[in-house]
Amino acid sequence: MKNWGKSVAFGALVISCLAGTMSMAGCKKKGAEPVSGEVDENPASSLVMTSAQADSLGNSFGVKLYYKANEEDLVVAETALLNFNPGDKKISALAGIIMSKLLEGPADVNNLMSMIPEGTEVKSISFKSGLLKIDVNKAFVDGLAGDRSKAKLVVGSVVNTLTELKDVEKVEFTCEGKAIGKLDCGFEFVTFERDCSIIKSDDKTSAGAGDPYAEELFEGVTLE
């Protein structure tokens, strides 16, 4: 297994079979204009594609990665353009690609920062019935054990990033195959849902490649 300090161990990814369709999403209610200064809670469809469309776009997709805003206890989305292989269309595989990019840290280092502990590795990812399970190493848990606020933001940044995949409704963490429970700082690992309360209300996508999969262009196109 390769280790880049903050890396995803793809060889250990648990690839789950998924029936149905999949889409990328954001904190925007479908069919409604966002109100200034307001964060909507329900992700809306923005990425679904056929093989032909994927090939024509170079097997790439846009995704929002959430990082801590400098000097604020809130997260902001940074858009990145990620590549995938034809065999990576399952949610667990796409989630692994997304996590690998998230662990690299933000491109916009002047405004954003990653609080994910050094040495963090993702051991495996699996998906079933709306629940994404992510198994991390001990470095991730140890790096959050002493700071409740940090733990909340780090977990929130990961969960909000992964729930950009519309079919992902909840995220559950384990540490090297075991339940994590409550940390010394008082933060408790439970089954997490998307938390828009920690997203900066005037959130604007920062840096990155922009969103090549605009909702109005790809909404309703099924993913194979």
pLDDT digits (tens, 9 = 90+) for 41-55: 444 334 455 555 555
Q: Report the largest interatomic distance among the alpha carbons of the chain, rounded to a whole angstrom.
A: 50
Residue 148 lies inside a defined structural domain of this protein: yes
Residue 209 lies inside a defined structural domain of this protein: no
Count of domains observed in the chain: 1
pLDDT of 205 over the 50 cut: no
Are the beta carbons of 34 and 27 closer than 8 angstroms?
no
Distance CA 127, CA 191 (A): 13
Are the beta carbons of 68 and 79 closer than 8 angstroms?
no
In 48-139 the beta strands, taken as DSSP E runs, fall at 60-69, 75-83, 112-113, 121-128, 131-136
Distance CA 48, CA 178 (A): 34
Residue 36 lies inside a defined structural domain of this protein: no
Are the beta carbons of 133 and 16 closer than 8 angstroms?
no
Are the beta carbons of 38 and 201 closer than 8 angstroms?
yes
pLDDT for 85 equals 81
- In 3-state terms, what secondary structure has residue 165? strand
Residue 206 lies inside a defined structural domain of this protein: no
Distance CA 154, CA 140 (A): 10
β-strands 7-8, 121-128 pairing: parallel
Residue 218 lies inside a defined structural domain of this protein: no
**Of the listed ranges 40-44, 131-135, 157-161, 192-196, the one predicted with least confidence:** 40-44
Residues 59-98: pLDDT tens digits? 777 899 999 999 899 999 999 988 888 777 789 999 999 9
Q: Record the pTM.
A: 0.69
pLDDT, mean over the chain: 75
Mean pLDDT confidence for 99-125:
96
Contacts of 153-157 with C-beta under 8 Å, sequence gap 24+, read: 153/68, 153/73, 153/75, 153/115, 153/198, 154/115, 154/116, 154/117, 155/187, 155/189, 155/192, 156/66, 156/75, 156/192, 156/195, 156/198, 157/66, 157/67, 157/68, 157/75, 157/102, 157/114, 157/115, 157/116
Residue 1 lies inside a defined structural domain of this protein: no
Mean pLDDT confidence for 34-43:
43
How many residues are present in the chain? 224
Residue 113 lies inside a defined structural domain of this protein: yes
Residue 129 lies inside a defined structural domain of this protein: yes
Give the structural domain span for 74. Answer: 7-28+43-201
Are the beta carbons of 136 and 173 closer than 8 angstroms?
yes
Q: Among residues 14, 26, 25, which one has the least CA distance to residue 127?
A: 14
Distance CA 223, CA 178 (A): 33
